[in-house]
Amino acid sequence: MNATKLGTIKIAEADGVEILSLMDNSVDFLSAISRKEAQSFRQWTKKRHGQEWTKAHVELPSAEHGFSMLIRILQEDKTHCVLFDAGSSMDGMVKNAERMGIDLNEVESIVLSHGHYDPFGGLLSAVKAINRANLPVMVHPDAFKTRGTADAKGEIRVYPEFPAEELRHLTKMVETRQPLLFAENSAFVTGEILRETSFEKGYAQHKALIDGAWQSEPWIRDDQAIVINVKEKGLVVISGCAHAGIINTVLYAQQVTGVSRVYAVMGGFHLAGKEFEPRIKPTVQELKWVNPALIVPSHCTGWRATCALAEALPDAFVWNSVGNLYQL
């Protein structure tokens, strides 16, 4: 278990952050967005690329059961760009970036949230599209395990294998269990997250192949998030799937930075499915107490939890779509 102590991460304040949804489970290019921090695909592409580009690029981004965010961290006269996860399909995220007019060459580093197929399926294609020598890929070492889930009969559905050897050949793999600062100390990847809440109890059916046998692995210790401290706003916490629990993730971000104010909570909260839906009510209650200015559930959060969050935090809530741009 991670033993990082209170306030041990000396994170620098960022002047701002832009977060672009490259891949998620849903698309919605028509609905209005009430929050000034968020713009839909058509809104921001028209502003940045112009009306003629928008007319010429008629092929819209698509959705899949996967997650990927492009994060630009603004610090004085510099911009640091990190790719957080890469979707589940081989090239879906890369195609979406092309359809949004995004040049992936700007990416300085990649963070992988955990070792499941929905964040790493497009990782090799992303690395090749970025085409940067010694590209850092920050990953927890447990992400390399062979994994699956057991059904009611005990039969294992085996997940796709993490392409560790190919990535080691193409990138600079940075393995960490501890919090790790990057982007000139303006952001950090959490590493292992402390499990403190009474209701975020892991994933009971989750298995890992260890010493030739399938063994229970409910805690998925490699689950990690990205945290940014935005000047005069507070922490921005971005999760991939939040197998650690989104409340545990937020609490850990506060603990290791010593910053109590949480401005935004974004990403997958893993509250879909019969095992996880009983956690919706306590999760919503805790998030109401955290009281972020912006909350953007996506990917594996599920429609029940998403609707509950929209009802509980209507002023903060934004329904995420592939192509949404957030400027904080």
104 close to 126: Cβ distance less than 8 angstroms: yes
Q: Is residue 145 part of a domain?
A: yes
Q: Is residue 190 part of a domain?
A: yes
Q: Is residue 1 part of a domain?
A: no
Q: Which residues contact 113 (CB under 8 A, 6 or more apart)?
A: 67, 84, 85, 119, 223, 224, 225, 239, 240, 241
Q: Which residues contact 21 (CB under 8 A, 6 or more apart)?
A: 68, 69, 298, 320, 321, 322, 323, 324, 325
Q: Is residue 201 part of a domain?
A: yes
Q: Is residue 2 part of a domain?
A: no
Amino acid at 140: H
Of 20, 9, 3, 328, nearest to 185 by C-alpha is 9
Q: Is residue 150 part of a domain?
A: yes
323 close to 40: Cβ distance less than 8 angstroms: yes
Q: Which residues contact 309 (CB under 8 A, 6 or more apart)?
A: 284, 287, 295, 297, 301, 317
Q: Is residue 3 part of a domain?
A: no
10 Å Cβ neighbour count for 178? 16
Radius of gyration in angstroms for the set of CA atoms belonging to the chain, rounded to a whole number: 19
| pLDDT for res 5 | 60
Please count the structural domains in the chain.
1
Domain containing 200: what range? 16-327
Per-residue confidence of the chain (328 residues) as pLDDT tens digits? 444 566 688 999 999 999 999 999 999 999 999 999 999 999 999 999 988 887 777 789 999 999 999 999 999 889 999 999 999 999 999 999 999 999 999 999 999 999 999 999 999 999 999 999 999 999 999 999 999 999 999 999 999 999 999 999 999 999 999 999 999 999 999 999 999 999 999 999 999 999 999 999 999 999 999 999 999 999 999 999 999 999 999 999 999 999 999 999 999 999 999 999 999 999 999 999 999 999 999 999 999 999 999 999 999 999 999 999 999 9
Report how far residue 148's alpha carbon sits from residue 220's, in angstroms, rounded to the nearest whole number. 11
Taking phi over 0 as left and psi of -120 to 50 as alpha, with beta for the rest, 274 belongs to alpha
What Cα–Cα distance (Å) separates residue 30 from each residue in 1, 309, 323, 324? 45, 21, 12, 11
Q: Is residue 213 part of a domain?
A: yes
Report how far residue 154's alpha carbon sits from residue 149's, in angstroms, rounded to the nearest whole number. 9
Report how far residue 72's alpha carbon sits from residue 181's, in angstroms, rounded to the nearest whole number. 15
| pLDDT for res 6 | 61
pTM: 0.96
Q: What is the CATH number of the domain that holds 182?
A: 3.60.15.10
Report how far residue 127's alpha carbon sits from residue 150's, in angstroms, rounded to the nearest whole number. 32
| pLDDT for res 269 | 98
What Cα–Cα distance (Å) separates residue 288 from each residue in 57, 141, 262, 282? 40, 34, 12, 10
User: Which backbone phi and psi does 278 adopt, to 5 degrees?
Assistant: -60, -15
41 close to 60: Cβ distance less than 8 angstroms: yes
